[in-house]
A and B are shown apart, each in its own frame.
Chain A
Amino acid sequence: MKLMGYRRENGTFGLRNYLLILPTSVCATNTAEKIAAQIPGAVSIPNQHGCCQIGSDLEQVERTLEGFGKNANVGAVLVIGLGCDGIQANELADRLRPTGKPVEDMTIQACGGTLKAIAKGAEIAAKMAAHLSDEVKSEGQLSDLILGMECGGSDPTSGLAANPVIGYASDKLVAAGAGSIISETTEVIGAEKILAKRFKTDAQRDKFLGMVKHCEDRAIQMGEDLRTGQPTPGNKAGGLSTIEEKSLGCMYKAGTAEFSGSLDYAEPMPQDNKGLYFMDTPGQDIESITGMAAAGANIMIFSTGRGTPTGSPIAPVIKITGNAETFVNMHDNIDLNAGTIITKGDKIADIGEKAYQMILDVANGQKTKAEIVGHRDFGIYKITGTF
C-alpha cells in the first residue's frame, strides 16, 4: 500500500498539512486562538506557560513548542508572542526556520494591541493557508512514520487486549524502519525490570531506570501514597487495584522490539536512528501525547478501557478499546474494537493486523474519530512551579 504525504525540505514526512498559530506564552494564547478562528483549517494550541519560568523548566516548554512547530504534520507556522514574555517569538521562530517551512513571527505589543495583532496575524495566516493549499502529496515509506503510543482511562481489558494489539502493530512498523514511542513513566512503575532487559546498551538501560526512579521518588518526597492519584478513580472502578497492575498492562504497548533508547520529555526522535523509544512523560494522557507530538510523532494510537475523547491539535489519534461495552458506549470517540479478543476469542494478531491497516489508512488521510469530532488537546509537562 502506497503511503502519501507531504515531504518537508528537511526530509521529514507529514501526514497532515496544518497551519499552526503558535503562542509563545500564556499571554499570547487567547490572541492566537482568535487569529486561528479567522482562517478555516488553522489550529492554535492553548499554551498555559512560557513566562516567569527558569532553567530546565523554561527550556522544556520551549522545546515542546519548538517540537510542535517542527512536527512534519505542520506545513507553516505563525509564532506569536506578547513581546515581553519569557519565550521570545523571534527566537522561537529562528529555531523553526531550519525546517524550510514558512515561518513568521510577530508580537502583540509591536502591533499595538489585540485587534491590530489579530488583523495582522490573520493576514499572514491567510497567505500561509494559500501556500499550503498549493502543496501536493508525494509518496513516502513506512520508515517515514513515527507512531506515538498512549493508553488512558485504562481498565483490565487494556492489558489483556488493546495494548497487546498496539504492541503487535508497533513491532511491525519498527521492523519496517519506522519510529515508535511508548511513554508514561508513572505507568512503568512495577514493570520497569521487564522493559529494562530490552534496551540495546547499558547506558540506555540506566537512563531509562533513572527516569522511573525519579518519577517514583517524586511521590515519595511528597510523603503521599501514589495511589491517591494513580491509578485514577476510573481505573479503580474498572478493576485496576495498584500502579503495578496498571503498569504491567500498559507495557504491552511496547510489543517485543528492542529499545533503541530513551528520550527526555519532548526530545526529538533522531531521524537517522528511528526505532522503538521510551519517552519520560507523566501518565496523564494530554501531557504525554503532547510530548510525543513534540518529538515528531506524526500519527498516534491510543488504547482506552473506560473510553476517552483525546485528540492532538497536530496529529491524528486512533482510539482502540479492549472493552466491547465501551466501544458501544463511547462510539463517538473510538475507532477500533479489540474487545472481541475477550468476548469472541479473536486472536491478538488478527486485530493487530486491523490496527496496522488502520494506521496506514489514517496516515493516508482517513480521519480518526478524534479528528472528526475536533479534539485538540494540549498540555505541557512542567518540571517545577512557575516563579
Chain B
Amino acid sequence: MNAAIHIDPKDNLATCLRAIKKGETIEIDGKSFTATSDIPEFHKMATANIKKGEYCYKYGQVVGEALEDLHPGDYVHTHNLASTRGRGDKVQA
C-alpha cells in the first residue's frame, strides 16, 4: 500500500492512505515529500508550491483555494483550504 496517492496527474494535493508523522519522508509518483506536520489518515498533503488564493486540485478538479502560501509536504485541510462555492458569507449585503 502506498503512503499517499495522487488521484489525477493534475492534482497538487495527495491523499494520505495512512497517518504520516511530521518529518517523515514519503514517495508519491517517484518524488519525495517530507511532511511539515502530522497528517492524519486519509487527509491531504500539498505536493507543489501553491500561492495564497490559487486553486487546489484533487480528482483533477478544483476543490478550493489556498488561504495561505502552501509548500510541498504541508498538511492541507480546513485551516488553509477554503471552498469557492456556496459562499454567502462573501456576498456584499
Contacts and interface: CB of A to CB of B under 8 A. Distances in A.
A245 B85 CA distance: 11
A236 to B, nearest CB: 6
B50 interface: no
Contact of B89 (A223, A239, A323): A223
Contact of B42 (A155, A223, A243): A155
A243 B85 contact: yes
Interface in B73-93: 76-78, 81-91, 93
B76 A223 contact: no
A243 B83 contact: yes
A280 B50 CA distance: 35
Contacts of B32: none
Given A225-B83, A241-B81, A242-B82, A159 B44 contact: no
Interface in A211-247: 216, 219-227, 230, 236, 238-239, 241-245
A219 B77 contact: no
A1 interface: no
A190 B61 contact: yes
Contacts of A226: 83, 85-88
B40 interface: yes
A184 to B, nearest CB: 14
A248 interface: yes
A238 B7 CA distance: 18
A157 interface: yes
Contact of A241 (B41, B77, B87, B88): B77
A249 to B, nearest CB: 8
Contacts of B63: 190, 241-242, 244-245, 248
Contact of B86 (A219, A248, A345): A219
B42 A225 contact: no
Interface centre among B76, B78, B88 (most CB of A within 10 A): B88
B43 interface: yes
Nearest to A252: B59
B17 interface: yes
Given A248-B58, A248-B59, A343-B1, A242 B88 contact: no
Size category of the A interface is: 35 or more
Contacts of A159: 59
B72 interface: no
Nearest to A192: B85
Interface string A187-228: 001110010000000000000000000001001111111110
Nearest to B78: A241
Contacts of B87: 219-220, 225-226
A223 B88 contact: yes
Nearest to A220: B88
Contacts of B84: 242, 244
Interface centre among A155, A220, A323, A343 (most CB of B within 10 A): A220
Given A159-B59, A241-B77, A224 B42 contact: no
A244 B85 contact: yes
Nearest to B91: A220
Nearest to A155: B42
Interface in B1-18: 1, 7, 15, 17
A242 B1 CA distance: 26
A363 to B, nearest CB: 32
Interface of B: 1, 7, 15, 17, 40-44, 58-59, 61-64, 76-78, 81-91, 93
12 contacts: A190-B61, A191-B61, A216-B86, A220-B88, A224-B88, A225-B88, A226-B83, A236-B78, A239-B43, A239-B77, A241-B63, A244-B83
Interface of A: 155-157, 159-160, 189-191, 194, 216, 219-227, 230, 236, 238-239, 241-245, 248-249, 323, 342-345
Given A224-B89, A227-B83, A345-B1, 20 more contacts: A156-B43, A194-B61, A216-B85, A219-B88, A222-B88, A226-B83, A226-B88, A227-B86, A236-B77, A239-B42, A239-B44, A242-B81, A242-B83, A242-B84, A244-B63, A244-B84, A244-B85, A248-B61, A249-B59, A342-B1
Q: What are the nearest 3 A-B pairs in CB distance?
A: A226-B86, A242-B83, A239-B43
